[in-house]
Each structure stands twice: as C-alpha cells, then as structure tokens.
Amino acid sequence: MRTKFGVMLAGFGFLIAGTSALAHHGFDTEYDASKKFTFTGVVQKVEWQNPHMRVYVDVTDDKTGKVTTWNMEMTSPNTVRRQGWGPKDLVAGEKVTFTTYGGKVVETRGSLVSIKKVADGRELFVAGGPDASVPK
C-alpha cells in the first residue's frame, strides 16, 4: 500500500512538473519571424506585470484613418528595469516608434523588439524576437 502511494505521488509530481515546463512558450509558438513591422503610434497603456510586460500602442492608418491597437509582449518587468527604465518612463499618450514581430494567429498581438519615444528619440527597450539570443 505504501509503495503504491509513493509511486502515485511521484507520478503526480512528474505530471505537475511537466505541465509547468510546457506552460511557458517559445517565440515560434506565438510569433512569426517573417512578419516584422515598424510603426509610429500613441501609447494606450503599459502593463507592468509578470511574467511578461505588455505595451498597447494605437496606430492610425494615414490613408483610411482607421486606428489599430497593437498589443505587444515584452520580457519581464525585472529585465526591463535592468535596462534602465521604470513605470514613469513610458506612459499613455506618448508618441512612439516601435518595431515588433507579428503574431501567428492575431497579427497585431506582437513580440516587441524595440520602442523609442518620438519626442526625444530615447530608446526604451531593445530585446525580444528570434535574434535576441544570437551573440553579436
């Protein structure tokens, strides 16, 4: 009886560990490296949350006037802070130029590569995408 319980407990432990390992996604799971875009728009909001920050930017099509909101995933808030910026450095209403990889399912749900304030040219974030791990 004790052996069966131990085996069941070990099996359950492996199941939980395996599920957690599979829960985190890779770049290729959600984003398309062949869909790289650069736009200028206005920050709608910035979410400082784990495990990944998000930046939402409204981009207006010059021809049609249609506004599209880009929802872009970043790295963790801790990593962004180590790059030297905090919650007050990028706020709603600021005009930015950004580069992102588009999503596989929803193109406007992207992986942020870089973002720069238009007003002063300050680059706030550089990371992400399939090139991030390539040594330079």
Domain presence at residue 120: yes
Domain presence at residue 55: yes
Domain presence at residue 13: no
* Neighbour tally for 62: CB within 10 Å: 7
Domain that holds residue 103: 27-126
Do β-strands 67-73 and 123-126 pair in parallel, antiparallel, or remain unpaired?
unpaired
Which range in 9-13, 18-22, 81-85, 102-106 is most confidently predicted, on average pLDDT?
A: 102-106
Domain presence at residue 132: no
Q: What is the model's pLDDT at position 29? A: 83
Domain presence at residue 41: yes
In whole angstroms, what is the distance from residue 61 CA to residue 98 CA?
15
Q: For the chain, what is the mean pLDDT?
A: 82
pLDDT of 40 over the 90 cut: yes
Domain presence at residue 4: no
CA distances from 79 to 20, 58, 121 (A): 21, 24, 21
Q: What CATH code is carried by the domain that includes residue 32?
A: 2.40.50.140
- Tally the domains of the chain: 1
